[in-house]
Structure 1
Amino acid sequence: MITEKKVEVIKENHSSINLINKEQLIKILNQQLADTIDLNSQLKQAHWNVKGSNFYTLHQMFDEFASETLEFIDIIAERITALGGVAEGGVVTVSRKTRLESSLGNFQVEESVVKELSLKYQQLSSSTREAINFSEDLRDAATADLFTEVVRGLDKTLWMLEAHIQ
């Protein structure tokens, strides 16, 4: 999960977390940021393109879920900068770093779009749980708490997606 690239940390940041842990936390946060931005993008793509008898319901639902992910993106990016790092949320960086597969394609089959999105949520929820553990290992309860808040929201949305196709 953590790449070898050295993270630049602003020296003026006076957080009580040691520099080595900050660098690791920023890497973890930037990875989750890339994955969450990608999920948001895929939700918007589904929102714009879904077709079928449940169009209106799914169109609204996907937009609501995309709005929620924007909140996650913001708190993750702000935590990165609070630790003295740079939030890497550009399109090129996100497309290079994301671990989510871009497999949404058949927007005519509503159930397949919902299933694909639920798989994305499962993947991001799992990696967020790993990020909680890494944050705890690095003795940063605040970042672990942030990821706990994110995973709570991801799990709720995953439940809603899965309930929609049962």
Structure 2
Amino acid sequence: MAAIKSPLTEAAQKVTGDALQGALVDLIDLSLVAKQAHWNLTGRNFKVVHEHLDEIVDLARQGQDDVAERAVAIGVNPDGRVRTIADRTALPQLEAGYLDDDKVVAAVTDVLGQIIGRFRERVAATDEPDPVTQDLLIGITAELEKQHWMFQAQT
């Protein structure tokens, strides 16, 4: 089997690969959490929150594809398998059943805040080893922060 030769040193590839894998886990689980909330949402602000959750799903799915492709480009295999996500996620999970819109807004605001904190750590970690990956992570962080602001404004 052919391997992709990394443009990075082995040490830079390790740091960058770890940052990308962590980002991938966060983004995949974010898409799942947001979709679960989308399907089970109830409340007086149903339509607005329901549609806003799809924006989160779209952002997370695009981001996870960009992150996974960047990993492959630097010679790292991304791991988005269900077991990997379940074992490595740090996101709190929503309760089962119908979800009140106010609780969803609060939960998504919290989840986005947690992910943003980890993304900012990854941005710092990739500054020297791979500014290209850092740039990708900065762009995703900016979009996550925009969504965090928009959800936070609903509380």
TM-score by length of 1: 0.87
Match of 2:126 among 112, 135, 140: 135
Q: Which residue of 2 aligns with 1:13?
A: 5
- For 2:4 and 2:148, how far apart are their aligned partners in 1? 40
What's the secondary structure of 1:84's corresponding residue?
coil
Q: Identify unmatched segments of 5+ residues in structure 2.
A: none
Deviation at 1:107, TM superposition (A): 3.9
- For 1:147 and 1:74, how far apart are their aligned partners in 2? 12
Contact 1:128 1:151 in 2 (8 A): yes
Amino acid at match of 1:163: A
Q: Any idea what the Cα deviations from partners look like across 1:130-161, whole Å, max 9, x if unmatched?
A: 000100142x1101111100110000000000
Q: Which residue of 2 aligns with 1:145?
A: 135
Deviation at 1:50, TM superposition (A): 0.2
Q: Which residue of 2 aligns with 1:47?
A: 38
Amino acid at match of 1:24: V
Match of 1:158 among 143, 148, 153: 148
User: Percent identity, aligned pairs only?
Assistant: 28
Match of 1:76 among 59, 67, 80: 67
Deviation at 1:112, TM superposition (A): 1.1
CA RMSD, aligned part only?
Answer: 1.5
Change (3 A) 1:28 1:108: closer
Deviation at 1:106, TM superposition (A): 6.6
Change (3 A) 1:27 1:64: same
Q: Any idea what the Cα deviations from partners look like across 1:18-52, whole Å, max 9, x if unmatched?
A: 01210221112101100111011000001110011
Deviation at 1:86, TM superposition (A): 0.6
RCO greater where, 1 or 2, for CA within 8 Å and sep 6 or more? 2
- For 1:71 and 1:81, how far apart are their aligned partners in 2? 16
The answer on 1:85 being equivalent to 2:76 is: yes
Amino acid at match of 1:87: P
Change (3 A) 1:126 1:104: farther
- For 1:42 and 1:160, how far apart are their aligned partners in 2? 17
- For 1:14 and 1:83, how far apart are their aligned partners in 2? 5
38-47 or 102-111, larger mean C-alpha shift: 102-111
